[in-house]
C-alpha cells in the first residue's frame, strides 16, 4: 500500500479494496479508459465514502487512475503506472498475463544494479556486513543442497543476502531499490519458478560473491555478481518463450 496511507481501524478493509481494484486494473478487467465512481466502489464493497475515497487516492498515487468531478474515476494507461512501487509489482506478479514480463524487467534491473553494488560493497562493507554475507551464503548453500531451495527459509536468507548487498554498497539509491528488486526473488518462489535444488552455479556464485566482498576484491565481486544474475536470467528464459 502506498506509504502515506495512515494506519487506522479501516486499514485492513482499505487494503482489501485496494488490492482487488489494483489487480483488476493491472489485469485489464478494468481497461484503460474505464470509468467508475466513489459510489460504485462504496456499493460494490459495502464501504463508506471515506474508505472509498482513500482507495481512490491510493490508486491515483500509484498512477492507475485519475479523478475529476465531471467524469469520475478513469483508469489510466500502463505507461503511467508507478512501476517501482511494491504494490504494483505484486499485482503484476499475481496476474498471469503480466508475470513473465514483470520478472523479466526486474531481472534486467538487477543486472544493471547488483554488479556495481557488489563492486562498491567490496570497498565499503563493514566487517559485520562482510561476516553476515558469508554466513548467509553458507546458509543458502546448506538449504539449497538440502532440497529446500523453494522453502520460505531459503527465500528469507536469499532476500536478506541481496538486501544486505545493496545496503553494503554505500549507495543510498541502490538501497532504495531493495524493495522492488527483492520482489524478483519473491516472485520466483511464490509462483513455483524456484527449484527445490538450485543450480550449483548459483550456490557457488553466492559464496564467490560473499568471499570477494569479504576480501575487499571489487572486481571479483562484480564478476561473481554478474555470474549469479546470468544464472537467474537463464533460468527465467523458458518463461519468455
Non-local (6+) Cβ contacts of 11 within 8 A are: 5
Q: Identify which of 5, 3, 80, 65 has the alpha carbon closest to the alpha carbon of residue 35.
A: 65
Residue-level pLDDT at 194: 86
The string of pLDDT tens digits covering residues 189-223 is: 888 888 899 989 999 999 999 999 999 999 999 99
Predicted confidence (pLDDT) at residue 4 exceeds the cutoff of 60: no
Map out the domains of the chain with their CATH numbers: 11-80 (1.10.10.10), 86-240 (1.20.120.530)
- pLDDT bracket for residue 2 (50, 70, 90): low
- pLDDT bracket for residue 239 (50, 70, 90): very low
User: What order of strands is seen across the sheet that includes strand 65-68?
Assistant: 35-36, 72-75, 65-68
3-state secondary structure 168-214: HCCCHHHHHCHHHHHHHHHHHHHCCCCCCCCCHHHHHHHHHHHHHHH
Pinpoint the alpha helices (H) of 28-95.
38-45, 49-61, 86-93
What is the pTM assigned to this prediction? Answer: 0.85
Mean pLDDT lowest among 7-21, 148-162, 203-217: 7-21
- pLDDT bracket for residue 231 (50, 70, 90): confident
- pLDDT bracket for residue 11 (50, 70, 90): low
Q: Are 165 and 118 in contact (CB under 8 A)?
A: yes
Would you put residue 28 in left (φ > 0), alpha (ψ -120 to 50) or beta?
left
Give SS3 for 74. strand
Average pLDDT, the chain: 91
The string of pLDDT tens digits covering residues 61-104 is: 999 999 998 889 999 999 999 999 999 999 999 999 999 999 99
Once rounded to an integer, what is the mean pLDDT over residues 131-158? Answer: 96
Q: How far apart are CA 222 and CA 139, in angstroms?
A: 21
Predicted confidence (pLDDT) at residue 227 exceeds the cutoff of 50: yes
- pLDDT bracket for residue 30 (50, 70, 90): very high
- Angle formed at CA 140 by CA 204 and CA 225, multiple of 5 degrees: 45
Amino acid at each position: 500500500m502506498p506509504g502515506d496511507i495512515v494506519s487506522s481501524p479501516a486499514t485492513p478493509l482499505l487494503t482489501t479494496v485496494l488490492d482487488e481494484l489494483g489487480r483488476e486494473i493491472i489485469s485489464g478487467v478494468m481497461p484503460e479508459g474505464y470509468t467508475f465512481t466513489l459510489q460504485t466502489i462504496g456499493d460494490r464493497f459495502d464501504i463508506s465514502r471515506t474508505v472509498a475515497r482513500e482507495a481512490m487516492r491510493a490508486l491515483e498515487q500509484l498512477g492507475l487512475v485519475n479523478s475529476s468531478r465531471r467524469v469520475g474515476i478513469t483508469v489510466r494507461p500502463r505507461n503511467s503506472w508507478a512501476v517501482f512501487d511494491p504494490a504494483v509489482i505484486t499485482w503484476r506478479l499475481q496476474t498471469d498475463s503480466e508475470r513473465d514480463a514483470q520478472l523479466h524487467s526486474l531481472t534486467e534491473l538487477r543486472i544493471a544494479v547488483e554488479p556495481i553494488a557488489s563492486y562498491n560493497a567490496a570497498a565499503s562493507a563493514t566487517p559485520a556486513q562482510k561476516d553476515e554475507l558469508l554466513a548467509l551464503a553458507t546458509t543458502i548453500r546448506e538449504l539449497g543442497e538440502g532440497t529446500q531451495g523453494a522453502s520460505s527459509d531459503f527465500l528469507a536468507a536469499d532476500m536478506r543476502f541481496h538486501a544486505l548487498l545493496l545496503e553494503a554498497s554505500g549507495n543510498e539509491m541502490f538501497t532504495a531499490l531493495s524493495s522492488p528488486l527483492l520482489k524478483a526473488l519473491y516472485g520466483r518462489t511464490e509462483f513455483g519458478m524456484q527449484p527445490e535444488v538450485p543450480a550449483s552455479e548459483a550456490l557457488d556464485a553466492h559464496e564467490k560473491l560473499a568471499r570477494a566482498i569479504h576480501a575487499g576484491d571489487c572486481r571479483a565481486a562484480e564478476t561473481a555478481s554478474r555470474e549469479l544474475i546470468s544464472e537467474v536470467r537463464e533460468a527465467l528464459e523458458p518463461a519468455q518463450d
